[in-house]
Chain A
């Protein structure tokens, strides 16, 4: 069981949590047993698997698709629907866990058809079970959306606003509006949620996807009796998408004060720190727990806390959003800033990966020589190197290739003040 750290205590939309790590609404938070195991492992809170009106939905077999890079799972999708157990069973269990684990957060996730009555009645029932807050599932991209729920609502800003307002009208606990990434501009739905009066937005929900095609069955995976469907993509592969959407909301004048419960590919404390640096107040995790078990929270807590101590941050608030001022539009980047790749010949293992990447796909800036004794040498041709840094990323040896700043004597200049910009003529 994880040792809790004082410096990780935080408040998310007015809800106090012993740490920022919550489990997202998903199979891991489906019932009493799982949630208790999660709390025993040290998770600060859970968002209970989405509840709907009875009768409960029916789930299919199988439910998950895997995206592997070589032997590592980088992403996963699922076609599971919301809770397939009766509403009262879930509510009774929530009441029980709330009583047994008073210091842990439980958020009730919910979805309903686009009717005011349905949202209000369900929200009140869930609030009455004693949850700390309610999360509106407006993001599920499979199954539920085909019934007019989930992302079918989340993709229409007017509906996002309306549903948020309906629920805010009837409950006096914080309301989290969960956003779908399957849209063109996250700001439209974030602004709608804000107008509807949400206390926080939670994002991202899963990304619409087909993870793979079974080439024997000639059907997308997972297959259900020979057929497959698109599902919700999650796991480390979606982290870059989620980071950007969180940053978009935090950089936007109208939405920058929105509280954010960040979700999307968080697997380690570093991922968590990155989301916080872009302004997230709390974090939700699902796939990493599904792949490795609840124990992964151990390292998230210890890692984040240790790093904060090293950096001298007393609390999450001390560094929250610190990367936002440095997150700018391309137009604001210094076009005169110059770097060149530098290969440390002592640590180079002569694999040639930098050379072939640069030679075939970049700027032919890495020279390859073989000495008489067979020693292979790779050298950067400074005049050809544009500082793209592809070689640095490809190099399998840590710190072997570094990008070194070059003093070219040029002043700061971005696109806005560049003479090539047509707007400057």
Chain B
């Protein structure tokens, strides 16, 4: 069955230009004047709530003040000194539930300051205008640390370790570095190859080498890294996706939303991407929205998002839910998939209506069948612990104490541990804090 994106109006495939247009920047960057005007709205609060709301504790009022005083590179430095991936976080952070949610302007019923856009303005200006890395390395400690995973946690950890005077070797399973920044976020949030640009910038500090296509359990193992290096940091993220547990789940046309997103990110010519005309996405997080919206942008006629609870329970932010609606996605709640109807290829998904009885989610007898030639599963991911068996793991998260795992000298961070929310910005913070802990450990201070 040939699947190709088509224009919902004409029924013909979208032209290359239409596709290009559909995948442009979701939030247009601020120009210099807009940045000045927006920065002028910031009240420069004391001990500001936005700083507390930021998992990486960026001194937001200070960097906004710096933009206002025409010290954009100083602003970028304020951001990057706490969050080396401030560029990505400015693009993908759910600011409406973090810094911007607590902006005091909300209290007086004004729009909060566009902190994300201002942060992007500062960081992008610095990254695109300078070849000189703004941070210097401390005197060499003579130590070398292995980092597993070149995602936000791993790279943040590597950068801070290098800054503190250590050498770092990063082992990355995939062909490209960046983790979710490169593979797992909607294209319209990370246009113009930003993930790679940010990594290039980050690596300018020196002392970090990345070895790609090095999969844990295949070409490397935790024990060999422990032997070879002074310390190890694990930032492997959540490598396993949950299954629906239904018959015929292996039918054609059924895949993980993360794989679909990865394909979109890695395919330059979007017209080459296979997509259905009746796409059903199962799930309610930002990954589900990223997949659903991008399916629509590829030209899918009907995109339906199915979630077993109510809209108020969705983990996607209000902004993301609104984005889905604006893109014509039908959101069906209190509905759970119960039967895949397929020959070789999926044709329909039968769902069962649910309800809450005594706070317990309960399936009813009512069914609804949705036409479906592509089913995308976005019901969550979990730690792939098959190669981490020596570590203490609890509720599918590596147990850590100040980022050190149950094995001395082995540290972990990011989505693989339980810190804050599973967010890019939290992973960056984990990497940074773990690096500080590792450095102290290597210096004999811990």
Residues of A at the B interface (CB closer than 8 Å) are 70-71, 347, 349-353, 355-356, 368, 374, 376, 396-397
- Chain A residues with Cβ below 8 Å from B46 are 351-353, 355-356, 368
- Chain A residues with Cβ below 8 Å from B52 are 374
Return 18 A-B CB contacts under 8 Å, by A number.
A70-B36, A347-B108, A349-B43, A349-B104, A349-B105, A349-B107, A350-B45, A351-B45, A351-B104, A352-B46, A353-B44, A353-B45, A356-B46, A368-B47, A374-B49, A374-B52, A376-B49, A396-B43
Q: Which of B36, B44, B48, B108 contacts A71 (CB 8 A)?
A: B36
A214 to chain B, nearest CB (A): 13
B40 located at the interface, meaning its Cβ lies under 8 Å from any Cβ of chain A in the complex: yes
Q: Assuming A349-B104, A351-B104, A368-B46, what are 18 further A-B pairs, CB within 8 angstroms? A: A70-B40, A70-B68, A71-B37, A347-B108, A349-B43, A349-B107, A349-B108, A350-B45, A350-B107, A351-B43, A351-B46, A351-B48, A353-B45, A353-B46, A368-B47, A376-B47, A396-B43, A397-B108
- Chain B residues with Cβ below 8 Å from A356 are 46-47
Give the complex CA separation of A63 and B43 in angstroms: 34
Give the complex CA separation of A421 and B424 in angstroms: 67
- Chain B residues with Cβ below 8 Å from A347 are 108
B43 and A353 contact, CB distance less than 8 A: yes
A350 and B104 contact, CB distance less than 8 A: yes
Give the complex CA separation of A352 and B103 in angstroms: 12
**Beta-carbon contacts under 8 Å, B48-65 to A:** 48-49, 52
The 10 closest A-B pairs by CB, nearest first: A352-B46, A356-B46, A349-B107, A351-B45, A349-B104, A351-B43, A351-B104, A70-B40, A349-B108, A396-B43
Look across to chain A and name the residue whose beta carbon is closest to the beta carbon of B36: A71
Look across to chain A and name the residue whose beta carbon is closest to the beta carbon of B48: A352
Q: Which of B47, B68, B107, B108 contacts A352 (CB 8 A)?
A: B47
Give the complex CA separation of A352 and B46 in angstroms: 5
- Chain A residues with Cβ below 8 Å from B48 are 351-352
A375 to chain B, nearest CB (A): 10
Give the complex CA separation of A70 and B70 in angstroms: 10
Give the complex CA separation of A347 and B104 in angstroms: 11
Look across to chain A and name the residue whose beta carbon is closest to the beta carbon of B33: A71
- Chain A residues with Cβ below 8 Å from B68 are 70
B40 and A71 contact, CB distance less than 8 A: yes
Residue pairs across A and B with CB atoms within 8 Å: the count is 40
B267 to chain A, nearest CB (A): 43
Count B-side interface residues using an 8 Å CB cutoff. 16
B326 to chain A, nearest CB (A): 30
A170 to chain B, nearest CB (A): 54
- Chain A residues with Cβ below 8 Å from B36 are 70-71
- Chain B residues with Cβ below 8 Å from A71 are 36-37, 40
Give the complex CA separation of A251 and B290 in angstroms: 72
- Chain B residues with Cβ below 8 Å from A351 are 43, 45-46, 48, 104
B37 and A352 contact, CB distance less than 8 A: no
Give the complex CA separation of A350 and B43 in angstroms: 11
- Chain B residues with Cβ below 8 Å from A355 are 46
- Given A70-B68, A397-B108, CB of A352 within 8 Å of CB of B40: no
Binary per-residue interface labels of chain B (90-116) against chain A in the complex, 1 for a CB within 8 Å, 0 otherwise: 000000000000001101100000000
Binary per-residue interface labels of chain B (392-418) against chain A in the complex, 1 for a CB within 8 Å, 0 otherwise: 000000000000000000000000000
Q: Which of B44, B48, B68, B104 has the most CB of A within 10 A?
A: B104
Q: Which of B36, B46, B47, B52 has the most CB of A within 10 A?
A: B46
Give the complex CA separation of A353 and B48 in angstroms: 10
- Chain A residues with Cβ below 8 Å from B40 are 70-71
- Given A70-B68, A71-B36, A71-B37, CB of A350 within 8 Å of CB of B49: yes
Give the complex CA separation of A317 and B79 in angstroms: 58
Give the complex CA separation of A356 and B36 in angstroms: 24
Give the complex CA separation of A353 and B36 in angstroms: 21
Give the complex CA separation of A349 and B42 in angstroms: 13
Binary per-residue interface labels of chain B (66-88) against chain A in the complex, 1 for a CB within 8 Å, 0 otherwise: 00100000000000000000000
Give the complex CA separation of A355 and B105 in angstroms: 17
- Chain A residues with Cβ below 8 Å from B43 are 349, 351, 353, 396
B106 to chain A, nearest CB (A): 8
A376 to chain B, nearest CB (A): 7
Give the complex CA separation of A374 and B49 in angstroms: 9
- Chain B residues with Cβ below 8 Å from A374 are 49, 52
- Chain B residues with Cβ below 8 Å from A368 are 46-47
- Chain B residues with Cβ below 8 Å from A396 are 43
B420 to chain A, nearest CB (A): 16
B390 to chain A, nearest CB (A): 40
Look across to chain B and name the residue whose beta carbon is closest to the beta carbon of A357: B46
- Chain A residues with Cβ below 8 Å from B37 are 71
Give the complex CA separation of A352 and B68 in angstroms: 20
Give the complex CA separation of A58 and B107 in angstroms: 56
A37 to chain B, nearest CB (A): 29
Give the complex CA separation of A355 and B52 in angstroms: 18
Look across to chain A and name the residue whose beta carbon is closest to the beta carbon of B68: A70
Give the complex CA separation of A71 and B47 in angstroms: 25
Give the complex CA separation of A70 and B68 in angstroms: 7
- Chain B residues with Cβ below 8 Å from A70 are 36, 40, 68
B69 to chain A, nearest CB (A): 9
Look across to chain B and name the residue whose beta carbon is closest to the beta carbon of A370: B47
Binary per-residue interface labels of chain B (262-287) against chain A in the complex, 1 for a CB within 8 Å, 0 otherwise: 00000000000000000000000000
A330 to chain B, nearest CB (A): 32
Look across to chain B and name the residue whose beta carbon is closest to the beta carbon of A69: B40
A396 to chain B, nearest CB (A): 5
Q: Which of B48, B52, B105, B108 has the most CB of A within 10 A?
A: B108
Give the complex CA separation of A368 and B46 in angstroms: 10
Look across to chain B and name the residue whose beta carbon is closest to the beta carbon of A354: B46
Give the complex CA separation of A40 and B107 in angstroms: 45
Give the complex CA separation of A376 and B50 in angstroms: 13
B226 to chain A, nearest CB (A): 41
B63 to chain A, nearest CB (A): 16
B114 to chain A, nearest CB (A): 16
- Chain A residues with Cβ below 8 Å from B44 are 353
Look across to chain A and name the residue whose beta carbon is closest to the beta carbon of B47: A352
Look across to chain A and name the residue whose beta carbon is closest to the beta carbon of B108: A349
Q: Which of B37, B48, B49, B105 has the most CB of A within 10 A?
A: B49
Look across to chain A and name the residue whose beta carbon is closest to the beta carbon of B110: A349
Give the complex CA separation of A355 and B36 in angstroms: 26
- Chain B residues with Cβ below 8 Å from A352 are 45-48
Look across to chain B and name the residue whose beta carbon is closest to the beta carbon of A359: B46
B245 to chain A, nearest CB (A): 40
Give the complex CA separation of A378 and B108 in angstroms: 16
A298 to chain B, nearest CB (A): 26
**Beta-carbon contacts under 8 Å, B126-176 to A:** none
Look across to chain B and name the residue whose beta carbon is closest to the beta carbon of A72: B40
B56 to chain A, nearest CB (A): 18
- Chain A residues with Cβ below 8 Å from B105 are 349
Give the complex CA separation of A79 and B132 in angstroms: 41
Give the complex CA separation of A4 and B148 in angstroms: 78
- Chain A residues with Cβ below 8 Å from B47 are 352, 356, 368, 376
Give the complex CA separation of A351 and B108 in angstroms: 11
Give the complex CA separation of A353 and B49 in angstroms: 13
Give the complex CA separation of A12 and B108 in angstroms: 46
Give the complex CA separation of A353 and B46 in angstroms: 6
Give the complex CA separation of A178 and B104 in angstroms: 48
Give the complex CA separation of A374 and B107 in angstroms: 14
